[in-house]
Amino acid sequence: MYGKAICQQLDELQRQGANLDKLLNRAVELLHRSNPRFHWTGIYELFPDNVLRLGPFIGAPTDHCFIGIGQGVCGTAVKEKRNINIPDVSKVSNYLACSASTKSELVVLIRRGETIFAQIDIDSHELAAFDEETLKQVEKVADWLALMYERHRITKAQPLIPPNDTAIK
C-alpha cells in the first residue's frame, strides 16, 4: 500500500502550501525509498516543444537530461501514450543507457485524460524488478501528481483581475 501512503504524505505537504516543485521532489524521494529495487528514480517533464526534460531525481547522474518523443523507453512511452515496463533493457533496441548497471526500467506517465504532463522513470539493477503490483502503486502516485499538474496549469492560466477602480464594466 505504499502508493496510497505516499499520496497521503503528499496531500499533507500540499495542504501546508508546498508548490509543485516541492511536491515533485518529495514524490521522487518517497518513491525511491519505498522499494529497495528502485536504484534510480526521477521525473521527466514534457515541455511544449515535445522534449522530455529531466526534473528531480535520485541516483547516479545521467547524460540524458533531454529526451525527444520516440527516443528511448521514456520517449516511446510518450509517443505511444502508455506506461512501459521493460524487464530486460538489453532486449530494447532504442534503449538510452543511463547506467551500465541498469537491467530493467519502468516508465509511468503522469497524465489526465489525453494530456501528458510528465513521467516517472525508475531504473533497477535487477532484471524484471517491476511486477504488476509495483506498477499499480507507482500509477497511484502518478495519478496524484497529474492532478497537481492540472491544478498548477489552471492556476497559472488564470487572468489577472484588475483592481476595482479599473475593472471593466
Concatenated DSSP letters for 146-166?
HHHHHHHHHHHHSPPPPPGGG
Residue with cell 525527444: 68
Q: How do residues 19-32 score in pLDDT, each as one tens digit?
A: 999 999 999 999 99
Per CATH, which fold does 2-158 belong to?
A: Beta-Lactamase (3.30.450)
Q: What is the pLDDT of residue 152?
A: 83
Average pLDDT, the chain: 89
Lookup: cell for 114: 489525453
Residues of the chain short of pLDDT 70, as ranges, are: 1, 155-169
Q: What is the pLDDT of residue 169?
A: 30
Sign of CA dihedral 65, 82, 9, 30: negative
CB 84 within 8 A of CB 14: no
Q: How do residues 74-83 score in pLDDT, each as one tens digit?
A: 999 999 999 9
CB 134 within 8 A of CB 106: yes
